[in-house]
Structure 1
Amino acid sequence: MANLKSLLFVGVYVLLISAWIPVSHCSKKPATVARKEDIPYIRCQVCEKLAAQLYHQVQKKQAEIAPKKISEYQIIEIAENVCNLKKAEADWILQIDIVEQGNKLELVEQDSEGQCNSECKTIERACQEVMEYSDTDVAEYLYSSKPQLDSLVNFLCKDLTKACSTKPPPVPKDRTPGEPFVPKSSKEAEMEKIMKSMEGMPGAPGMKMYSRDELMNMKNFGGEDDEDEDDDDDENFPSKLGKVLREKNAKVDWRQKITKGITDARDSLKKHAYKVNNRVRKWWREMKTAGSKNSKSSKSDL
């Protein structure tokens, strides 16, 4: 029965992919990497767009849970995910094209999401370098100060990270241009959102995108030794269905309780870890401030 369930799951998955995504979009794409040499030219612009995303995503989350107030933990989650393309909070990166304009690189927002190539990876890498270990600090600032967008940009890009403290250098004339922006189809974008939402769910670990031919050519899902067992399951499936459903309904309550308990415990531990981390950061900043004051006073005594 377990093998039959696996086959049913794969069958539904094949139908979804076949119906929604053209073969050309599902075929394996060559791996792309970030162009690290481009980061100095776009760091400040990435930081400004990052600040805007943090501001708007926090506002959106607050509107979703109103009248309840957004917690610092929820803001930290947004800050942690906003530069990770595997998370929905970073989908904004997919709508940006890096455009060469004279001796500068400009980040131009597009109307739709594009294929993630080296430019997409470069923006993600620049975003991660800007945030680095600043996610809890900027989350604390958003939670406690509730700043306007311009204040948040100044705090993140000039005070906290220095990403916009200096002008970017001119782009070399011999720089190789980046790839053109290639929009995704609406179906492909929707399927990727579904895949992101399913990531980490029980029963769907490590799901990957395959071409239609690859899916149809898959054989022996459960191994050759299991073929006889599958035949037996198919013959007895109608008679066993009622029993399986009754057992499933009997087990669903305690399974849900256990899952909820594990989830609550995980969230509680994460919140506690964030609080401890914030306290250590505050203590370290106070120590550094006190140390600098002591050094200045000792110099004045001399």
Structure 2
Amino acid sequence: MSTCRLPLVGLLAVLVALCGAQMLEKRVYSPIKEDLPYIACESCQKAVKSVHRKINELRKESKAKLSEDSILEIVEKVCNPLIEHGDWIRRFDVSLSKGKVKLVDMGAPSKCRRECRTIARACDDVVADADTDLAEMLYRDKMSLAQMTNRVCLEPCKRKLGQVDRRDVDEYFEEMDEKEAERERLMEKMAAGMPGLPEMYGPDDLAGFKDAKETKTKETKRRKASTWWQWLKDGFNDATSWVISLFYTSSNSNDEL
């Protein structure tokens, strides 16, 4: 084999290894369904508080009035723990205390595993159905935070739930380095700038999230996720074909010599 072929074969091997590593590294965690009804109210309240604070900050920074569409865009992302608008989720641990499942602010971001996904799911279950109304309330700016929260979170917060003796899943809160969290947010922003990439959920999440109350927003996310995996597959195939074409081009050149 010519010496020119070896680097190309090595490049192809590295490409396959890297793609495989990326696929394995991005493990998708599913929510803990048993916890969902117990944290729905608190997740909704904290989501409304977070987006209310964010909009007020933007109002102070911006000279022009925020449009309702720009506010809606932020509201739609408040339940996504992988980006800035939803990174409040990563600060909370799901904990059992005195028979109640609560969210505890740990003061630092965590790696987004099952409990993080559970908070995100509880948030999305409520906010996805009220995002337009919430965006309108924020745009009109006529209601207090308490009034807004009571309006959006009425349904999950009026449920009567019994005490909880034990939780089957109780994850260790694994604090994440701020640089690592920032790197994840950057990758998510890059993904958002490419067509077909999902905003939050991978295929495993989406399969576990199916239920009778799925909204049009969740249907759109599933379609985006499907497009994403097809995009990844096509991209890998194109890259492989490019490396192989270089290999054969080099081979033909050496044969002519």
**Is the shorter-chain TM-score for this pair beyond 0.5, marking a shared fold?**
yes
The verdict on how the C-alpha distance between 1:102 and 1:76 changes in structure 2, with shifts beyond 3 A counting, is same
* Structure 1, unpaired ranges of 5+: 1-6, 15-22, 208-218, 232-302
Which of these residues, 148, 153, 164, is aligned with residue 149 of structure 2?
153
1:125 aligns to 2:117 (yes or no): no
SS in 1 for 2:25: coil
State the one-letter code of the partner of 2:68: E
Q: CA RMSD in A?
A: 3.2
* Structure 2, unpaired ranges of 5+: 1-10, 198-227, 230-238, 252-257
Match of 1:165 in 2: 158
* Divergent runs of 4+, >4 A: 202-207, 228-231
1:64 aligns to 2:61 (yes or no): yes
Q: Report percent identity of matched pairs.
A: 32
| Aligned mates of 1:223, 1:175 — CA distance in 2 | 51
Match of 2:8 in 1: none
Count matched residues. Answer: 197
CA contact (8 A) 2:99 2:163 kept: yes
Which of these residues, 36, 47, 65, is aligned with residue 44 of structure 2?
47
CA contact (8 A) 1:41 1:169 kept: no
Match of 2:85 in 1: 89
Shift of 1:96: 0.9
Note the alpha carbon deviations across 1:49-89, whole angstroms, 9 max, x for none: 01101211111221232x21111111111111111335431
Structure with max Cα Rg: 1
SS in 2 for 1:50: helix
Shift of 1:146: 3.3
Which of these residues, 163, 187, 195, is aligned with residue 187 of structure 2?
195
SS in 2 for 1:199: helix
Note the alpha carbon deviations across 1:222-252, whole angstroms, 9 max, x for none: 3222236589xxxxxxxxxxxxxxxxxxxxx
State the one-letter code of the partner of 1:222: W
Query: TM (normalized to structure 1)?
Result: 0.57
| Aligned mates of 1:164, 1:81 — CA distance in 2 | 22
| Aligned mates of 2:183, 2:170 — CA distance in 1 | 26
State the one-letter code of the partner of 2:175: P
Note the alpha carbon deviations across 1:121-179, whole angstroms, 9 max, x for none: 11111001111321101111221243222222122122xxx2212343311x2431410
1:144 aligns to 2:136 (yes or no): no
